[in-house]
A and B are shown apart, each in its own frame.
Chain A
Amino acid sequence: MDDQYLDAFIRESEEAITELNNSLLDLESDPSDRDAMDDIFRTAHTLKGNFGAMGFEDASDLAHAVEDLLDAMRQGEMEVTPERMDRIFTVVDMIEAIVNEIDEDSESTTDTSEVVAGLRAVLEGESTGEDATEDADGTAAGSAEAVGVDPGDVDAGVLEATVSVGDSDMPGVDAMLAVEAIEESFDLLATAPDRDDIEDGAFESAFALGLDGDDPDAAAETLAEAAEVDDVSVADVTDTVLGPTGPGDGPAVSATGDLADDDADTTVDEIKSVRVDVDQLDDLHGLVEQLVTSRIKLRRAVEHEDLDGASENLNELGKVTANLQNTVMDMRLIPLKKVVGKFPRMVRDLARELDKDVEFTIEGEDIELDRTILTEISDPLMHIIRNSLDHGIEPPEERERAGKPRTGHVELRASRERDHVIIAVEDDGAGLDVEEIRRQALEQSVRSSDELETMDESAVYDLVFHPGFSTADEVTDTSGRGVGMDVVHDTVTQLDGSVNVESTPGEGTTVSLRLPVTMAIVKVLFVEVGDEEYGIPLKNVDEITRTDEVKQINGTPVIKHNDDIYPVIDLAETFDVPGAGGDDAEVVADGGEDGGMLVRIRESERRVALHCDEVDSQEEVVVKPLEGILSGTPGLSGTAVLGDGNIVHILDVVTL
């Protein structure tokens, strides 16, 4: 298949799925929302058409079936209920899985016939106006779980059979024949629609049976042998219904599967494609033309040994490359929507799972960020939102008792502040418990009790970013707070951003990320330490001084500035650099002639001064975050490749 078409198909399908999810959420919150309904139809139709055009018939059938189900809702034949929406969402998830499959393997092996048949069975069952399948809602279309199997009834296992009887004068009789036949060898646990409806033929072409057994092949054979049965599929769904513990244990499981799966589903992949404005492409083309012209001019000047001309051409070349850089940086910008578009669905599922009422709103989704930054913050944002739902928003009854509306509110708000984007996640939940954090911090030896006494609330809140710190009494599947929050902090810091928590007990919590818009070129100050060279981001630097002022306090070298004391960190010692000037600590302490230089860091970053042998030039570099085993190395934020090809480590003054 033509890759170009396939890529476009995948991209469009992914967008359509996100759109579909969000329109469905709109519809769920307001069943009379005609616009949402129209959007859903248009999108489902597009998906159906695209799948069909690309030859993915199974997926096309699936989209078609869901379109029909929605049509029944639009016609008012079916009410919009969360359970029915669960069913539709499950199908949308299946469509998404198929798209992912196609993306990876250029083909899909997912068999949709069963789900399609189940969906159709429900559609027919429900369109008779009976609420026969009321208890059949809940989960995957046509699944035995959906037909309301009571786990306590199960002996050997649960099989889910979807039976189709084709065109018939007496569909009810046909169904009965099948049911009677299967009952000779299997206990019937449940049916969808219910049995009376099946026997009345109140389904169009298929119905679902939940059977007690562990041999799907035997069940399929028995059913297929029954008179008038057109098509049968049987699947073992024991694990889905009973959980992995097997039969007999009996605990009913929640309808939406386990959280680990959800995690996998909602993880946003790296953003692989960027849509580029045609104007930007034209700009780019123009700049490349200028680049070529400048090069020719430069070469001519060099050939004629015309130094003035060459220097003039170099200036011109400098301007062109700067423009080029800006244009390319702009092209890497992607609206936040690309990542947060998937969040409403995640919040919905999670809220249902946690039995909480949550309204989720997004503001500023059109704000643009660099592709890499956007990809990186997707997971952290998800963690933060999960935390808000899990720990922030209280259960509805608790909210009511506290005099709050039953429905909690979580808002993701993005705004632009010059070169930065602020993304805040605000909830109106219980807020952080300062005393609990203090207690935990003490218990986990994160801070001493003396330190904790003197900390103000804001500093205490920041402790939640400490690795391994958890305020949840028990770490739940959804989010043991400490588990994610230190990752959030590390990721954002790596991106040269910052994260902050504000909270008011009883009123809510706001987590704000401050991120650079682009993986901007960073101006760094190069310093020499022994044979090594390091870069210090210039914006962190307040002053460069000689080592004369170094004093000793309790054996620690420090300098004073505006009556504040700045401890001196010796880079040679920190990074164990060979060949650094003399016996470092003493040199610093002596403050002698050849004692090197001190770089005093801005107070806002960290009250500290760095000792190095020599301070070199300032230069603009592109900082790449550390990857693999190096990531998370204290004191290092990334690397930069210099003009001569050398690689220099860029310091992270906060973790140094």
Chain B
Amino acid sequence: MPDVLIADDSEFMRNLLREILEEDHNIVGEVENGVEAVETYKDEKPDLVMMDIVMPIRDGIDATDEIKDENPGAHVIMCTSVGQEEKMKEAVKAGADGYITKPFQKPSVMEAIEDIVPS
């Protein structure tokens, strides 16, 4: 089972993602900003990070950039919503490997993960 880190400032979203993922994934941590995300990543070295784009203190794009600097082989999937296309493009430039669009549905999330981290 792959290790997953969930980074989202909304508790509702974190819970939703956990529900979707916990059956097939080992959730190594749930954090609510970019700084925590980078720290936890360095500690846990998870196979995958589910990263919200807009977060307080340090946003997901910045965090992704640092994680990718730390480990170019890291896998980061951005959690976006419709209308965030420009932000998402920045994230891709920062090294994001994929994205899911809110509201999350289990099949599309699983599909996005499958593309990045084949089971």
Give the distance in Å from the alpha carbon of A199 to the alpha carbon of B98 in the complex: 15
B115 and A173 form a contact (CB under 8 A): no
Q: Which residues of B contact A172 (CB under 8 A)?
A: 85, 89
Give the distance in Å from the alpha carbon of A225 to the alpha carbon of B117 in the complex: 10
A173 and B82 form a contact (CB under 8 A): no
A194 to chain B minimum Cβ distance, whole angstroms, is 16
Q: Which residues of A contact B93 (CB under 8 A)?
A: 176, 180
1/0 contact string of A160-191 vs chain B (CB within 8 Å): 00000000011011001100100000000000
Q: Which residues of A contact B89 (CB under 8 A)?
A: 172-173, 176, 199
Does B55 have its Cβ within 8 Å of any Cβ on chain A?
no
Which residues in chain A, 554-609, are within 8 Å of chain B measured between CB atoms? none
Which residues in chain A, 128-174, are within 8 Å of chain B measured between CB atoms? 169-170, 172-173
Given A170-B85, A227-B112, A228-B115, are A177 and B98 neighbors across the interface (CB < 8 Å)?
yes
A227 and B85 form a contact (CB under 8 A): no
Does B99 have its Cβ within 8 Å of any Cβ on chain A?
yes
Residue of A nearest to B99 (CB): A173
A177 and B82 form a contact (CB under 8 A): no
Does B109 have its Cβ within 8 Å of any Cβ on chain A?
no
Give the distance in Å from the alpha carbon of A226 to the alpha carbon of B96 in the complex: 11
Q: Which residues of A contact B74 (CB under 8 A)?
A: none
B18 to chain A minimum Cβ distance, whole angstroms, is 22
Q: Which residues of A contact B99 (CB under 8 A)?
A: 170, 173, 227-228
Give the distance in Å from the alpha carbon of A226 to the alpha carbon of B98 in the complex: 8
B116 and A227 form a contact (CB under 8 A): yes
Give the distance in Å from the alpha carbon of A170 to the alpha carbon of B81 in the complex: 10
Which residues in chain B, 52-104, are within 8 Å of chain A measured between CB atoms? 77, 80, 82, 85, 88-89, 92-93, 96-99, 101
B97 and A170 form a contact (CB under 8 A): no
CB within 8 A of B92: which of A169, A180, A201, A225? A180
Give the distance in Å from the alpha carbon of A170 to the alpha carbon of B92 in the complex: 12
Q: Which residues of B contact A199 (CB under 8 A)?
A: 89
B98 and A228 form a contact (CB under 8 A): yes
Q: Which residues of B contact A226 (CB under 8 A)?
A: 115
A168 to chain B minimum Cβ distance, whole angstroms, is 9
Q: Which residues of B contact A225 (CB under 8 A)?
A: 115
Q: Which residues of B contact A169 (CB under 8 A)?
A: 82, 101
Which residues in chain A, 223-272, are within 8 Å of chain B measured between CB atoms? 225-228
Q: Which residues of A contact B97 (CB under 8 A)?
A: 177, 227
Give the distance in Å from the alpha carbon of A314 to the alpha carbon of B85 in the complex: 93
B91 to chain A minimum Cβ distance, whole angstroms, is 8
B116 and A173 form a contact (CB under 8 A): no
A126 to chain B minimum Cβ distance, whole angstroms, is 22
Q: Which residues of B contact A173 (CB under 8 A)?
A: 85, 88-89, 92, 99
Q: Which residues of B contact A177 (CB under 8 A)?
A: 92, 96-98
Give the distance in Å from the alpha carbon of A180 to the alpha carbon of B89 in the complex: 11
Give the distance in Å from the alpha carbon of A225 to the alpha carbon of B82 in the complex: 24
Give the distance in Å from the alpha carbon of A304 to the alpha carbon of B72 in the complex: 109
Q: Which residues of A contact B88 (CB under 8 A)?
A: 170, 173
Q: Which residues of A contact B85 (CB under 8 A)?
A: 170, 172-173, 201
Give the distance in Å from the alpha carbon of A225 to the alpha carbon of B97 in the complex: 10
Q: Which residues of A contact B116 (CB under 8 A)?
A: 227
A201 to chain B minimum Cβ distance, whole angstroms, is 8
Give the distance in Å from the alpha carbon of A170 to the alpha carbon of B80 in the complex: 10
Point out which of A173, A199, A228 has the most chain B C-beta atoms below 10 A from its C-beta.
Answer: A173
A305 to chain B minimum Cβ distance, whole angstroms, is 97
Point out which of B82, B92, B96 has the most chain A C-beta atoms below 10 A from its C-beta.
Answer: B92
A393 to chain B minimum Cβ distance, whole angstroms, is 52
Q: Which residues of B contact A228 (CB under 8 A)?
A: 98-99, 112, 115
Residue of A nearest to B80 (CB): A170
Q: Which residues of A contact B80 (CB under 8 A)?
A: 170
Which residues in chain A, 97-154, are within 8 Å of chain B measured between CB atoms? none
Give the distance in Å from the alpha carbon of A105 to the alpha carbon of B104 in the complex: 51
Give the distance in Å from the alpha carbon of A151 to the alpha carbon of B98 in the complex: 33
Q: Which residues of A contact B98 (CB under 8 A)?
A: 177, 227-228
Residue of A nearest to B92 (CB): A176
Give the distance in Å from the alpha carbon of A173 to the alpha carbon of B83 in the complex: 12
Q: Which residues of A contact B92 (CB under 8 A)?
A: 173, 176-177, 180
Residue of A nearest to B88 (CB): A173
B40 to chain A minimum Cβ distance, whole angstroms, is 23
A120 to chain B minimum Cβ distance, whole angstroms, is 22
Residue of A nearest to B116 (CB): A227
Q: Which residues of B contact A176 (CB under 8 A)?
A: 89, 92-93
Give the distance in Å from the alpha carbon of A226 to the alpha carbon of B92 in the complex: 12
Residue of A nearest to B112 (CB): A227
B66 to chain A minimum Cβ distance, whole angstroms, is 18
B80 to chain A minimum Cβ distance, whole angstroms, is 8
B115 and A227 form a contact (CB under 8 A): yes
1/0 contact string of B102-119 vs chain A (CB within 8 Å): 000000000010011000
Residue of A nearest to B78 (CB): A173
Give the distance in Å from the alpha carbon of A169 to the alpha carbon of B92 in the complex: 15
Residue of B nearest to A176 (CB): B92
Residue of B nearest to A199 (CB): B89
Give the distance in Å from the alpha carbon of A499 to the alpha carbon of B110 in the complex: 76
Give the distance in Å from the alpha carbon of A225 to the alpha carbon of B77 in the complex: 14
Point out which of A169, A226, A227 has the most chain B C-beta atoms below 10 A from its C-beta.
Answer: A227
B36 to chain A minimum Cβ distance, whole angstroms, is 25
A128 to chain B minimum Cβ distance, whole angstroms, is 16
A350 to chain B minimum Cβ distance, whole angstroms, is 46
Give the distance in Å from the alpha carbon of A246 to the alpha carbon of B10 in the complex: 56
Residue of B nearest to A177 (CB): B92
Give the distance in Å from the alpha carbon of A71 to the alpha carbon of B89 in the complex: 33
Give the distance in Å from the alpha carbon of A173 to the alpha carbon of B53 in the complex: 14
Q: Which residues of B contact A170 (CB under 8 A)?
A: 80, 85, 88, 99, 101
Residue of B nearest to A179 (CB): B92
Give the distance in Å from the alpha carbon of A225 to the alpha carbon of B80 in the complex: 21
Give the distance in Å from the alpha carbon of A173 to the alpha carbon of B115 in the complex: 15
B78 to chain A minimum Cβ distance, whole angstroms, is 9
CB pairs A–B below 8 angstroms (10 shown): A170-B85, A173-B89, A176-B89, A176-B93, A177-B92, A180-B93, A227-B97, A227-B112, A227-B115, A228-B99
Q: Which 7 pairs across A and B sit closest by C-beta, in order of nearness?
A: A227-B98, A227-B115, A176-B92, A173-B88, A170-B85, A169-B101, A177-B92
6 more A-B residue pairs beyond the given contacts A170-B88, A176-B89, A180-B92, with a C-beta to C-beta distance below 8 A: A170-B101, A172-B85, A176-B93, A227-B99, A227-B115, A228-B98
State the B residues within 8 Å of A (CB).
77, 80, 82, 85, 88-89, 92-93, 96-99, 101, 112, 115-116
